[in-house]
Structure 1
Amino acid sequence: MTSYSTLSDSELTGLLKQGDTTAFAQIFAKYKGLLFSHVYKKIRDREEARDIVQDVFAGLWTKREQINPETNLGGYLMMAVRHKVLDLVGHKDVQSRYFISLSRFAQDWEGTTDYPIREKQLQFVIDKEIAGLPEKMREVFLMSRVSNLSHKEIAAQLGISEQTVSTQIKRALKILRSRLGLMLYLLMWFKL
């Protein structure tokens, strides 16, 4: 039996295409450090870098049947992380501009006489949306945002991994942003 560590990238890719998990593990072991290093140099955030590398390998496994064994595997993986980094940077730029815009609008909005009423309405809507989150996600989110606990403290209290805590908070924020975006617009413009 041949050792997987002696196989070329094209041989490993051919085996991967057939669903060989050992070939996938060998590819992961061979490239994870290089990809993490590359991503970390670009974004300087270990958690985000790990997430990007993990996403790239998850995508590799998902799309394994479409990969040509003759493809330059290292180049393919580097291009995949490059696209993920660009997506992340673009998303953060848009997010930053959105929060700046929202902040400016909030400063202008504070002068209105019905501010206390709108604030109560908004708090009610936010509380309702948080209550609508799945139970575990809501618990993790509230521990983070209301109790101001770190991911490590939450993980220790709930007996889950820090990665799970991070994922739950990211998902909760995504859900809340999508649900509250329209409500904020309606509250601010139509004075509900």
Structure 2
Amino acid sequence: MPDSVHLACIYIRERPGLRRYLTRMTGNLSMAEDLLHDTFLRVLDSDQSMGKVRDPRAYLLRSARNLALNALATQRRTPELSDLPEVAHPAPAVVERMIAREELLLVMRAIAGMPAKRREVFIMSRVDSLSYDQIAGRLGISRNTVMVQIVRALSDLRKILEM
């Protein structure tokens, strides 16, 4: 299974448990949600492939724990929010990052929810950058079937993102 789909499946399966773990660890639901997303973004950005990790759950728990410990240490070194002057608006980069994170999660969920053949064709096209003819040859299907699956996958993603 391609790594991005594998990661999306792991995300859907492990998110609730990691969220509870981080909430207990930090005592702050908002911080736990941020750390949870940062954990998956770190894995997504890393050079390591989740397919090569023997125990993905343990790997994610360790990554989440390390991020939480770093955040808590930073929080202890940082003055209380009430001691800081008020800021009119958050930095645009922060807002853009939050939006990108939410869109990434929507796309990951949508890809993971696609029928297996459609997901496989979509990943081979958009992630592996294979041509329609290459995909058709590898999967033993017609080029037209590949095109139909890509159109349906893009339609599925468009519907999700428009919501």
TM-score by length of structure 2 reads: 0.47
Question: Which of the pair has more CA radius of gyration?
Answer: 1
Bigger RCO (CA 8 Å, 6+ sep): 2
Normalised to the residue count of structure 1, the TM-score between the two structures is 0.41
